[in-house]
Structure 1
Amino acid sequence: MRIKRIEADNITEAMRELRRELGEGALILHTKPLPPRGVAGWFKSPRVEILGAVDEPELVANQIQRAAGPTSGRAAGMATPTQPTADADSPFAAIAQAQFVAASRIAEAAVSTSSPAPGTKTKKGKKSKAAEPADPQRQAVAARLAKFRAANPAIPIANDDARSGASVTVPPARGAEIAARDRQFDDALLGVTFAGGEFQKAGRRARRIAFVGPTGAGKTTTLAKLAAKAQLEYGRRVGLITIDTYRIGAVPQLAAYADILGVPLEVAHTPEDLSHALARLGDRDVVFIDTVGRSPLGDGVDGLVPFLATAAADEVHLVLSATTRPSDSLRAARAFARLAPNRLVMTKIDETDDHTGVAAIARGIGLPLTWLGIGQEVPDDIEEASAERLGTLLAASMA
């Protein structure tokens, strides 16, 4: 898997350059606008960045092979990844093993889809068919692993003993523990999908982004952070709407954020109010909609259904706390499913040192993970979710 990052003045130029570098089979992994740099940048159109990849399974396998040591060939032109023999006490042992497992799977897939060896007969003497196109899902998984490895160069570097030919003896009990962590890491990371922010998308009407979730999850704070990001980093014209008229201090809290940002705030008590508010904010690029928190154990979520139907939001983010037990978060997700969320935000990442639950929740719910709340500071304490970031959190949790 070869990965290439391209910067250009617009998406058309970026795509043209990516295809020139990687070919027509390039897979687009991520796109985002680049904020202007310096005072001079204020007078220029924002540039764009795209991250692309092309399926080269042997590249990932060979990278890990070089880090772990010499290997024997599995097939012509394909090397077999060697299992890393990192120090048993290394906090990166689980990651190295997970990469070995993933690379092995990729290498096997490449061999299984390659053309028959020379001299192999085919039915009726016809030439064998060309290999099937690479599976896009496999491409994405391999790309995420390669990106994670590139973002964590300490992983192969820690394997000095393996590169020098020395062997490390791992006690059976310790080996079983490492193997269990390896499987846990592999399953957790590869089972999660991601979706970045889409503030830059333009349409005939304002892009509507709603936030739903249980009480205390951090919906209002998350909304304020993203509203600030949309306006300050992406240059979007922002509008705010709240239907949280029940919680004491909810409206004044959001009003304070709106005042700081200098953006309009509308308060909607009924679905009809919400419809009028959306019309008044029709000239905005992005409208963020805050909702009242509801317990997943009662029927309070039902009261939000007509509001969400009126909102017709492009994005409905389910906001959950990383400090909540995964079983309770999954129960909340089932309760809020009637609001048709299509994104997941995990907050309070900074309030726990065990992030395996974050991966378990994202995988169990099946929604793409978009943002990670890492503190209470507005607008700084929020990060775009990615395989690299989640992998780092998982590695720290399993160390």
Structure 2
Amino acid sequence: MKVKKFVAKDMPEAMKKIRADLGEEAVILNSKRIVTGGFFGLFTKKKIEVIAAIDEEERQRPRWNEIKHVPPEKQDLKEEVEELKKVVASISSPASLSSQDRLPEKIQQIDQMLSEQEVSPYLREQVVEELLATWYRSDAPTDALLYEKTRDFFIEKMKKLSFGPVTSGPKIIHLVGPTGVGKTTTVAKIAAYYHLEKKQEVAFITTDTYRIAAVDQLKTYAKILNIPVEVAYSPADFQRAIEKFQNKDVIFVDSAGRNFQKQQYVKELQTMIDFNEEMTTYLVLSLTSKYKDMKNIVHQFSHIPIDRFVFTKKDETSTLGAMVNLVTEANKGVAYVTTGQNVPDDIEIADATRIVDWLLEEGRHE
């Protein structure tokens, strides 16, 4: 069976392409509305995507309406083929992804697992299309094969993105993020790794003067790790701190955690930090947050050069779909994922394959 994807402005155009490429005997496996281009819903175009298939042997046979005399046994075969086409079309109708009972049971189970992990409908539809193609190409696809195809799909989605910390470039590493994501603890974990494992000279600067507890917390970490720290109350303070630590290998900047769903706080951050200065900036987000809120925060930071995401609190949730959704939609990689409160241990360098394995492991353990 030959399976092919067609994208067109509407269904008549798609049908024209299918007939021209696969012929009149082609079967539509799935069709859906898609949006192309843009970022977070801006400047997008609506199109239709159709998955069609043709049995190559069937394609070479005479059409049924061209056969004048059909023996009884071949007439039965014709009826079976027509019935099969109806079944496939019903399974793969546009409503199939919103009506799971029309999918093969094994594919239905994977789709349900991804839904429970809160993977976006857009990604789930693509996974189901890939699995349906595998299903109809294989005589007896196993659970292991379908899960492997699911794993391959997500890894392929993220393979062009950069994961892990930025290893070459500016000596200033700046972490930004909303309140409550564990940003200060994360700064301490990363700094401890550079200081204790890489044997580099590091320093702290904090601009989080809105919360006395945040300053005290960072000072405590600095004292334990024997790392110098400066508190910047103004842009001038920040520049003086940068100059003071010029002899250090790496300078870690912990900025104020605010409600960055409001653009005014992003602008305040820009007045404090000179983003024109050479630095690596990580946006820290908690995996316990709602995906919609996380996406809105990323959108608010669209005018600031964010190099990677850092995801925290993996240990506090069993639902990891938001991480995959955000990475693939924002087209941006991940530097670190934190897995607990312990400094410096509970942090892992991010890797696309590891993230996908986490997602599928959590889903299968539900």
Give the TM bin, normalised by the shorter chain.
Answer: 0.5 to 0.7
Query: Deviation per CA, 1:206-226, whole angstroms, max 9, x where unpaired?
Result: 700000111111211110000
Shift in CA distance, 169/313, structure 1 to aligned 2, threshold 3 Å: closer
Give the one of 348, 357, 366 matched to 1:392: 357
Give the match for residue 268 of structure 1. Answer: 232
- Counterpart-to-counterpart distance in 1, 2:201 and 2:276: 18
1:238 to 185, 191, 202: 202
Summarize deviations over 1:320-366 as a string: whole Å, max 9, x none. 01111111101011112233211110111111111121111111222
CA distance in 1, matches of 2:188, 2:216: 13
Structure 1 runs not aligned, ≥5 long: 1-86, 106-161
Contact 1:194/1:385, CA 8 A, preserved across alignment: no
CA RMSD of aligned residues (A): 3.5
1:300-379 to structure 2, matched below 5 A, reads: 300-309=265-274, 312-379=277-344
Q: 1:115-194 counterparts in 2 under 5 A?
A: 185-192=151-158, 193-194=161-162
> 1:394 & 1:249 partners in 2: Cα distance?
34
Larger radius of gyration: 2
Distance 1:259 1:343 in 2: 28
Aligned-partner Cα distance in 2 for 1:362–1:257: 30
CA–CA distance in structure 1, aligned partners of residues 106 and 344 of structure 2: 41
CA contact (8 A) 1:274 1:311 kept: no
- Summarize the Cα distance change of 1:309–1:358 in structure 2 as closer, same or farther, 3 Å threshold: same
Aligned-partner Cα distance in 2 for 1:254–1:276: 19
Q: How has the CA–CA distance of structure 1 residues 274 and 169 changed in structure 2, closer, same or farther, with 3 Å as cutoff?
A: closer
Q: Which amino acid aligns with 1:240?
A: F
Contact 1:315 1:342 in 2 (8 A): yes
Partners of 2:303 and 2:275 in 1: CA distance: 14
For residues 243 and 294 of structure 1, what CA distance do their matches in structure 2 show? 12
Q: Structure 1: how far apart are the matches of 2:141 and 2:150?
A: 23
Deviations, residues 3-51 of structure 1 (Å, cap 9, x unaligned): xxxxxxxxxxxxxxxxxxxxxxxxxxxxxxxxxxxxxxxxxxxxxxxxx
Counterpart residue type for residue 256 of structure 1: T
Amino acid at match of 2:311: M
Question: Where does 1:249-264 land on structure 2 (aligned, <5 Å)?
Answer: 249-264=213-228
Letter in 1 for 2:157: G
Q: Which runs of 4+ in 1 moved over 4 A?
A: 91-95, 166-170, 181-187
- Percent of aligned pairs with the same amino acid: 33
The 3 A distance-change label for structure 1 pair 183 and 278 is same
Distance 1:216 1:184, change over 3 A: farther
Structure 1 pair 182/357, CA: closer, same or farther in 2 (3 Å)? farther
Q: What residue number does 1:278 align with?
A: 242
TM-score (ref. length: structure 2):
0.58
Secondary structure, counterpart of 2:198 in structure 1: coil
> 1 CA distance for matches of 2:331 and 2:106?
33
Cα displacement string for residues 355-383 of structure 1 (whole angstroms, at most 9, x for unaligned residues): 12111111122221110011111000000
Distance 1:392 1:232 in 2: 29
CA distance in 2, matches of 1:320, 1:233: 25
Distance 1:169 1:190 in 2: 21
Q: How many corresponding residue pairs?
A: 238
